[in-house]
Structure 1
Amino acid sequence: MSRTFLIHGYVETSAIFDELVPLLPVSTFVRIDLADEFLRWKLTKRINVELLAQYLINFYEIKAEDVIIGHSMGGWIAIHIKQLISAKAILVSSCTDQRKIRLPTHNYRLLKFLLYSGITQSRLLLNFFRKQYPFAESLDLYSSLMEGMRGMSRTYIDQQLQTLFAPVPPLTVSPDLRIHTRRDNIIARPAEPFVEVPGDHFSLVFHPEQVAEPIRQLL
């Protein structure tokens, strides 16, 4: 039986898939928690998403017949796994273009400076983002992720930022499925065709049935 790998997004954990998994076709599910992976990897040089994808392929012996479901940053990783070995890639609220990430800056050096200066994890900044968050449905989840980020090591957050923003060669493959919502305020909707679902960036938590349906049809 092929395996289904689940890769979470920035400052998330694999718990983000808890509502979705019971609705998916029977499979051997492998939840990847990136905090654990970076600790195990012990890579000392700068990274990018392609290097991370290759590490995961090697460690888990991922094959072309396997399925990778990625949410947000996890989808960015999933498509690079497909680029390397042609595994099926399903992107939920994710992107294949770094420019779709909705941040005031994509300059990694500036983001790293803000992180190590303490600004990124400051309660003042996180409270500001919380007050600006527009969706009541997922506000508590968003707030818990922001609070969780305050307890993450700067090294781990830096590794996630490198995964998102370090330069990589252009992609030559497309996802097998894109699932997105038009109201996503974290990742802009794709220019390519996608399956639209209700909700916001966290549709897989609050509208899991609608997210699961196109995945069931594909698999």
Structure 2
Amino acid sequence: MTETLDPRDRLIVGLDLPTVLDAEAMVARLGDAVTFYKIGYELSFAGGLVLAERLAGAGKQVFVDLKLHDIGATVEKATRQVAKLGAAILTVHAYPQTLRAAAAGREGSPMKVLGVTVLTSWDAADVKEAGFREGPEALVARRVRQAREAGVDGVICAPTDLAAVRRIAPSPFLAVTPGVRPAGAALGDQKRVATPAEAIRAGADRLVVARPILSAEDPRAAAEAIVAEIAAAAG
């Protein structure tokens, strides 16, 4: 990494909750232990984009995880609207036309655009079923190269893909990874995972964690434990 980040800023807590009230209650419980939040599909469709703007206005960083993919003009205009919310990060699917459109849409704003390579819930069988001849590793590599060529800021990738991503695209190209599970945590629907320390050592800039924090008896303590693990791994 070319910048030194506070370990707290390297943890993004996914607010994968059904209502804005639930999300606001979780933000209150986490307090100053968390500085960065992700708002995805579920919460977005329940009023979460308004919450994203409020969180940004309150000094939090917000990752809007909409994984946009449409015709170029639509993606460009949608990206411009998300930037107006004050979001720090927006995701789009890592297809060349979509990447280029999002890069154009964020022009003039500080928002970062990240391309989603291969979902962490996909393995080789899922990639094949989707119609790709290449395996997950080759597909990720191709999409990282295309993201760099399109001029976006980085990618979303599984922690198991980080080493390959960093061989192609060292910092300051961003690598943000979901699929992070503390040792002993349930995997859920994730297939390509790592612990926080493993992901940081492999080259992740930021980690996205939801269920291990949201479902913890003490979410703040769970978040603080992950931040401590990040700090120790970063050295």
TM bin (shorter chain): 0.3 to 0.5
Provide the TM-score with structure 1 as the length reference: 0.34
Greater RCO (CA < 8 Å, at least 6 residues apart): 1
Taking structure 2 as the reference length, the TM-score comes to: 0.32
